Structure 1
Amino acid sequence: MPEAVGKIVAMNVDPDTPPRPLDAAAVFPQLVPPASTVTRLHPRPGAPTWYDSSIGGPLL
């Protein structure tokens, strides 16, 4: 298989979110009561085939 054009050679192996440069709760105390924990996604590039897509492939 030929080498993909524009292929990403190296990726960050540690997908953690870096610490914030400031304490947002101290700057905006009104945001503390409704605050909640969230999950941050770290998507990776891929090369799906037409079988992997419902746009170009079958749904079932």
Structure 2
Amino acid sequence: MRKLTHPTDSTCIRQCLGSAIKAQELILTCYMEEGCKKLDTQLLEEVRYLEKENVKNHKPIYD
């Protein structure tokens, strides 16, 4: 799996990923609602990648 560029944001993404899976929502929507740090272009690409992988695999990406 690709490594997230911003360690400080990875926790937030991981939390949002778990919530998004349960609610079957897009991670990005959760990410913005949780008031996480502003997404830069590179981090946004990572989030979109995680969403795509999650949809493809139908399972949590993080342990």
* TM-score, length of structure 1 as denominator length: 0.22
Of Structure 1 and Structure 2, the greater helix share is in 2
Who wins on radius of gyration, i.e. which is larger? 1
TM-score by length of 2: 0.22
